[in-house]
A and B are shown apart, each in its own frame.
Chain A
């Protein structure tokens, strides 16, 4: 039993963790060697029960299609789910996710990927007029909650998640990430305390183009979950990380908040800080807390949030989990431990510990605007 879904009849998953992130702001792609090395150094932050990676820019040839990575418990689940895909999507390409069987990861689900485009005449159009993104979100939720033995673990464009039960360095070997290239990588090493051997519970957690790796326990999980349910999110996985991803989806995609403000919802400034702000700013931040109080993430956390335009690292508002950042040229590194950064970048330009609740936002530069000459210099 691979337990793609949470079968432990618990309200939510508890885990400690290690995390890493690498981004090149000029979108120069690198393979998975560095991120594997960095997260491998944080070996002791996990217990072998979950590791994973998210990579952006890995499917340039299918950049306009939703890349679905799906885990199946058995062929029957695969058959049922593919029936759903056929009815609702144009399947441009589908294949097994290439894996290298190792002695360390010898028990795994069926791993398959699909490059999909929602059909314009799909059946749900009879009921409502969802945009493609919304339809993909509802499809992911439908499959993950209703299709037994099937679990979509990645659904974005030109990005993908690779994860499973095992130490992250073994997971990297299993998925052969040295053959995969991307301009942004995040990695996670998991230490679950109550959900052993659960593939679905590994990080990163992704939805559309968002990906999250997360170290911490959200003590406000109960209300965060109920808040999201008001907006029809179905929290099938019962993990803290899922909550974070959906809150960001709600704030950024649905409510159109700038990412900076969205981060100020997750780790809201204290009222004592808001008191000291300029009147207009004070008004805005007070309203932010009044409206989104139920979306405040309370409890210890460090997260790395990836989206197509960049990477954001954030600590809870009293910094109860470690988070360090460093830069070297166009590269920015984020990790739970400074040693991870120095493992792959021995002399970073600067290294610093972000303050509690203060997001580090690294946005990519639009390479379209870079001249040919600059391009040559970069490469």
Chain B
């Protein structure tokens, strides 16, 4: 098919320059990764069709001369045939391909976190002031025995009979969600590594292998084994505090990954251990896992390789039958299960999958936690919840619904400048995050953004302590799974039941 010379699709945004203010410094031309701006001899010219509203240009315009506006040109309004559908049809009729996008779904599905309210103490029990009393957020991820086995030493003092299974110790119940080198830049990974080390938490490096420069951060790293097996060898498995088997991702359950060959430069090629210029393909399934018993074999193959010294995590997307799936994963030997909800982020996913497949993390989490308790195996594995944790309140609610810790991906990228434009898959990120173009990646200073990430998690941890104090508890484990401290608002009976919480006022 020949490509038509014009497109039906209007520019979504207009990059409007106030030429009276503009000093023609051309910084916008330099900063825009999309090629929106050019110099027309006497003034800056904007090609609106290229603008994605990533916010880089106006952030760095010294004169405040740039405004990004939503294109006021209307499409004929139709409640059923919305812009979203019509534009995708046009786009696909031009390319003949699957429409791809970055980031989690932008569609406005019901967000259950926004319909859950927290409890606080009044009179009958006192709130606790976190500025005056210790307030504990320390969290251990890993399998716990169901009971303590004791021995008694020569002084008849109790001592542990068997050492505890390996645990990941977190100073605060946050981890940085898996984002691979390739999907994001090395500088972005470094920023998270620096923050994780300073915070006493961990980052997950995703499936793209471990870059040499991150090796020193091993105590704060979870390494991942995904279906592409990029960069996996014995040293790799032993280089972090845990190994994670990635089965699925909330933004694209059941779908593999594809990093195009043009992004596989020398450095990524070496890190992923694949030839430069070849496509890095992660198949939809692991080709050695076609059933739960195969997962068990891989879990134990990895445990053998790491000498049972580190926990093994399994990451799955939240799908309809998630409770039974996670129960199987726990019984297969996983020490940690990472559940990624429907609204979770991605570097690239088919729009049709991202916007239609999976279930919300709140519901998945509540169901999984309940199921594991009913089966008496909740202690066998820790749960990590992810899928757009937007604030400390979301994190607190997730923990009360049963999570041991939460993972934050998109929020961490927002710290680094991300405006959630959803164009990660193009590799043009003006903020230097989801790109490998050196002129863009070098603008992301790991130390500067490492500090900002530290600030964010620190701030959220303080907020979490405030919330715990208001609830009258001084340790995060007294909130974990305590659905009694949650109430639903504007939820149906079915929704309340599936979440296992009561309506406000009950």
Contacts and interface: CB of A to CB of B under 8 A. Distances in A.
A287 B484 contact: no
B229 interface: no
A307 interface: no
Given A219-B121, A222-B483, A271-B136, A291 B471 contact: no
A290 B121 CA distance: 26
Given A216-B125, A296-B478, A298-B475, A283 B147 contact: no
A271 B169 CA distance: 12
A365 interface: no
A353 interface: no
A291 B149 CA distance: 11
A300 B474 CA distance: 11
B70 interface: no
A268 B477 CA distance: 11
A217 B124 contact: yes
B480 A230 contact: no
A298 B473 contact: yes
Contact of A294 (B134, B150, B160, B477): B477
Interface in B115-158: 121, 124-126, 128, 133-134, 136, 138, 140, 144-148, 150, 153, 158
Nearest to A300: B125
B349 to A, nearest CB: 35
A270 B485 CA distance: 23
Interface string A75-89: 000000000000000
B484 A299 contact: no
A227 B484 CA distance: 13
Contacts of A14: 124-125
Interface string A267-305: 010111000000010011011111111101011100000
Interface stretch (A50-58, A134-142, A255-263, A326-334): A255-263
Which of B147, B373, B479 gathers the greatest number of chain A CB atoms within 10 Å? B147
Contacts, number: 120
Given A291-B379, A293-B480, A294-B481, A271 B126 contact: no
B167 interface: yes
A11 B501 CA distance: 11
Interface in B456-485: 471-475, 477-485
A291 to B, nearest CB: 5
B125 A288 contact: no
A293 B144 CA distance: 10
A229 interface: yes
Contacts of A216: 125
Contacts of A255: 147-148
Contact of A219 (B125, B134, B167, B373): B125
A290 B124 contact: no
Contacts of A287: 148, 160, 164
A298 B471 CA distance: 10
A237 to B, nearest CB: 15
A271 B138 contact: yes
Given A222-B485, A255-B148, A318-B133, A300 B480 contact: no
Interface residues of A, number: 48
A215 B145 CA distance: 32
A11 B138 CA distance: 29
Given A230-B373, A287-B148, A223 B164 contact: no
Given A217-B125, A222-B485, A257 B480 contact: no
Contacts of B473: 219-220, 298-299
Contacts of B159: 280, 283-284
A167 interface: no
A339 B333 CA distance: 57
Given A230-B373, A298-B475, A300-B472, A284 B158 contact: yes
B145 A317 contact: no
B72 interface: no
Contacts of A225: 484
A223 B478 contact: yes
A261 B301 CA distance: 37
B376 interface: yes
B241 to A, nearest CB: 16
B62 to A, nearest CB: 49
B343 to A, nearest CB: 26
Which of B128, B145, B472, B477 gathers the greatest number of chain A CB atoms within 10 Å? B477
B315 interface: no
B147 A291 contact: yes
A193 interface: yes
B378 interface: yes
Given A219-B121, A222-B482, A230 B144 contact: no
A9 to B, nearest CB: 8
B472 A11 contact: no
A293 B140 CA distance: 10
Contacts of B246: none
Contact of A291 (B121, B126, B138, B145): B145
A43 interface: no
A298 B124 contact: no
A225 B481 CA distance: 10
The 9 lowest CB-CB distance pairs between A and B, nearest first, are A222-B484, A293-B477, A222-B482, A220-B478, A298-B478, A219-B472, A217-B125, A223-B482, A298-B473
26 contacts: A216-B125, A217-B124, A217-B125, A219-B125, A219-B473, A220-B479, A222-B481, A222-B485, A223-B478, A223-B482, A226-B481, A230-B378, A230-B379, A254-B147, A257-B150, A268-B475, A283-B163, A287-B148, A287-B160, A290-B144, A291-B144, A291-B147, A293-B477, A298-B478, A299-B472, A299-B478
Given A14-B125, A219-B121, 6 more contacts: A220-B482, A290-B167, A291-B144, A291-B146, A299-B478, A300-B126
Interface of A: 11-12, 14-16, 193, 216-217, 219-223, 225-227, 229-231, 254-258, 261, 268, 270-272, 280, 283-284, 286-294, 296, 298-300, 317-318, 320
